[in-house]
Amino acid sequence: MTGENRTANEMAAERTNLASLRTGMAADRTLMGWVRTGMSMITFGFTVYKLLSEAQEKGLVLPRETTPRNVGLFLIAAGTFATIMGKIEYVHTLRQLGATYPFKFYRPSFIMALIISLSGLVLFLGIIRQMI
């Protein structure tokens, strides 16, 4: 059908579908922003933990002996939490959009967010396990 032969309702439905698709892609980009933030915090937390631990072993005196672990755990937990919050926001947005345009939750951005949050959780638990 050409643009001249379509009814106003058909054109409105097409515009609504395109708007929903753009909103879904924006949700993907937002989730990937959450993932980048979370991954940065997780890697920074692990790096701080390792650097401060190495420095402490070489004789650096820190205010507390547990400072490397505490700082590392805080940043890793914050990064993991940021990724989880991003996933919750993503699912909420796609559920709202589901009324006008069918979206599947298991898109590549969601799978990547799941992998990063699980990695952060494993890293967090690994550091906790070392202190036991």
Tokens of 13: 């439905």
Lowest mean pLDDT segment, chosen from 11-20, 29-38, 45-54: 11-20
The mean predicted confidence, pLDDT, of the chain is 84
DSSP H or E run through 12:
helix 8-57
**Among 115, 110, 121, which residue's Cα sits nearest to residue 76?**
121
**pTM (2 d.p.):** 0.77
pLDDT tens string 53-112: 888 888 877 788 888 888 889 999 999 999 999 999 999 888 888 776 677 767 888 999
